[in-house]
Amino acid sequence: MAPSGAVELLPSETPNAARIYSYTLGGSYYLPVDRAAAEYMFSLVPSTPKWVRMLRNFLQHAARRLWVEGFTHFIDFASGLPTDDHIHHVLPDARVVYSDLDPETYDMAQQLVGHLPNVLYVRHDVREARSLLESPEVQNFLGGERRVAFGLNGITVFLSPEEISRLFHDLYEWAAPGSRLYITYETKMPGLMTPRMEQFIDMFRQAGSPFWLYSLEECIAFSRPWQIPPTGLMPLHEFLGLPSDYITEADQEGVGLQFYAAILAKPE
């Protein structure tokens, strides 16, 4: 095993989503095959790095905001690699449950955070969130706390409408009143598509990861029964306080590409 805070990267000819994400964010946990896959993605959707950086900034922004509101227990789904810009670094005193289904990502994550007492990284499928929440390992780690902050950041594109609905209901039913769900949705305008975006989507599907781009209206419906704040689902750059012209027409890739963000609530 690599030293604490480091990852031993084993040779591979297969791209890994978490390593591609690391490359996109300017990290160091990637292999040549991941760099090649990422650069191919960028050739199809050049705005990808910009959106990915905003997604990571959202994670930090939401975590700090929820900590100020009194949340000390976080459960983050499809977490990828918990590197230096993830929740446990932003909030070192919080108790954080990370999860990811990919075995390679899980092994790398254990090298990064397996030694940290306030962090639990579990190999688990977000589609089966209820069984994760009810597992003795997670319940013991949380100390019985159910007023928590859940995280679904950049995940819904990999889930069908039925899977999203079940996930949101499972989290809502398990959580104590007052809990929060910080979320981002990747959307496009209905009826718009380009050849490059079709190639981008097909790339995921050929790799075994179906990819859906929903409309804003669909995402609003998905959010139920969680309570949407009065500000509604906000464009991600607005949520982060970035200038109104930060997202350009080119960034929307000819399909009205837009990310939305919100912190949803289970009412007290």
Tell me what pLDDT residue 7 has.
79
Residue 220 has pLDDT above 80, yes or no: yes
Q: What is the pLDDT of residue 8?
A: 81
pLDDT digits (tens, 9 = 90+) for 130-141: 999 999 999 999
Which pLDDT tens digit goes with each residue over 122-132? 999 999 999 99
Domain residue spans in the chain? 17-265
pTM (predicted TM-score): 0.94
Q: How many CB atoms lie within 10 A of CB 123?
A: 15
Q: Is the pLDDT of residue 1 over 80?
A: no
What are the DSSP calls for 150-201, one per residue? EEE-S-GGGS-HHHHHHHHHHHHHHSPTT-EEEEEEEE--TT---HHHHHHH
pLDDT(266) > 80: yes
The structure tokens 């509101």 sit at 69
pLDDT at 5 over 80: no
What CATH number has the domain spanning 17-265? 3.40.50.150
